Amino acid sequence: MNKSTLAIAAALACAPLVSAAQERPYEIKICSTSEASVIDRAGDATILANTTRGIADSVPPGGAFDKMTFECRSVLNASKTGFDYTSRCTFVDMDGDKVIGASVGNAQGWKWTYLGGTGKWEGIQGGGTGKSTAQYPRLSPAVSAGCGLAVGTYSFKK
């Protein structure tokens, strides 16, 4: 389930204001913890609610994504054959401006789309893909941690 956590997180990182609707590429590293709770079970299928919190930084360091924090909420479907999820996330920059977005994913990675933003992020559009790069020991059966890498493009509506 931590892979889904990472996916959610990376899925919704923010980018700097651009005056034109020009597409810009970016790469971010995210690290997070996530806590899952069971909503329901039937046979070998389990539905879980997941909350992920973490940080996002641009690659290379010093770019637009440094020192962003995020929180994501997701619903996961898990079984013996794997898992998939959908999520909604909020990222906050050092000025308190926000970006929100949506992601879908599974153990192989995720895809995301920007839904909107406030302040300097108003009018953001675009998206990208990501994958888990590191998993860490569990703090408890319900709490996991890890990191991921995401790439994509963004622009702003004219």
Q: How confident is the model at residue 18 (pLDDT cuts 50, 70, 90)?
A: very low
pLDDT tens for each residue of 28-63:
999 999 999 999 999 999 999 999 999 999 998 877
- The predicted pLDDT at position 13 comes to 40
Q: What is the CATH number of the domain that holds 93?
A: 2.40.350
How many domains does the structure of the chain reveal?
A: 1
Tokens representing residue 11 in the block: 């899925």
- The predicted pLDDT at position 157 comes to 87
pLDDT tens for each residue of 69-99:
999 999 999 999 999 999 999 999 999 999 9
Which helix (H) or strand (E) element contains residue 11? helix 2-11
Expressed as residue numbers, the domain containing 22 is 2-156
- The predicted pLDDT at position 140 comes to 95
**Which residues have CB under 8 Å from 157's CB, separation 6+?**
21, 123, 125
Residues comprising the chain, all counted: 158
Using DSSP's 3-state secondary structure scheme, residue 18 falls into: coil
Segment 111-117 shows an average pLDDT of 95
